[in-house]
Amino acid sequence: MNYRHAFHAGGFADVFKHAVLCRILAYLRGKPAAFRVIDTHAGAGVYDLSGDEATRGAEWHQGIERLLSMQRSEKVSALLKPYLDVVAALNERGQLRHYPGSPALVRAWLRPQDRLIACELEPKAARALASNLRGDSRIKTLQIDGWTALDAYVPPKERRGLVLIDPSFEQDSDFIRLSRGLAAAHRKWSTGIFALWYPIKGRPEPNALAKSIRRLGIAKTLRAELTVAPLSDPSRLNGSGLILVNPPWTLEAELAVLLPELAKALGRNGKGGHALDWLAKEAAV
């Protein structure tokens, strides 16, 4: 498949990924020590939902728009607040025209001591990324292959932070590269938080990814999945997942609250589903 960020901006997969991202950022900000985020496949940073690419699939109508209109409990509202506050800040009151990609979400949460490296190889998206994030000394944007960046910039000097890996999956080999990339980066930075995003059309590829990551024997590896439709039609994007290494200790309980509500709000025809489990809690002996 081809999960180019601009075509799917604000869709259900973005909502899931970005809600979790902001929970991790909230945790990192809870301690005074500096942190660094390395976004390996950053996209353009900010998206115009009325632009050609976003309107082609208009996925945001079934994603962020539906989320904003859902009835939320006080607890769910509190968990989503760090994410939705950034969305609101980009838009006029009562309107939804712009959507923040992961670099813009991270930027909103950076303190003076924190840093972001945002990498994007595709020329048009890389130019937009540099433009959207320009003028901020805490941020470095690079037109570079994200897989190369994963090797080159890990570990960061802060020794605290997050690596977000969400490639476009233009090639089937990206599933294999996720596992191999994690293995190499984790060897260099075993205490870092890693978030690996992947699409779900059917079960074979996600199951194979989980199997390969289990074989790595990396401790504290949590898997979270959100589906919006049954997996009976593998030609469609029916869900997405996150593999989280060294997640904040608070995140499992937060996801146990958020995932059912996201599935209810974003599922097609009431067919949403979710899963949350540990691929490994302890390191393999």
Residues forming the active site: 166
Q: And the tokens for 24?
A: 């991790």
> What residues contact 23, with CB distance under 8 A and at least 6 apart?
79, 82, 248, 250, 251, 254, 255, 258
Minimal CA–CA distance to 54: which of 103, 96, 85?
A: 96
Q: And the tokens for 174?
A: 């990206």
Minimal CA–CA distance to 84: which of 13, 192, 10, 163?
A: 10
Tokens 């589903």 identify what position? 273
Minimal CA–CA distance to 130: which of 118, 138, 122?
A: 118
For residues 172 and 2, the answer to whether their CB atoms sit within 8 Å is no
Minimal CA–CA distance to 234: which of 282, 212, 190, 201?
A: 201
Measure the CA–CA gap between 58 and 62, rounded to whole angstroms: 8
- 5 CB-contact burial (10 Å; exposed 0-12 / middle 13-18 / buried 19+): buried
Measure the CA–CA gap between 214 and 55, rounded to whole angstroms: 38
Q: What is the dihedral sign for C-alpha 257, 262, 267, 269?
A: positive
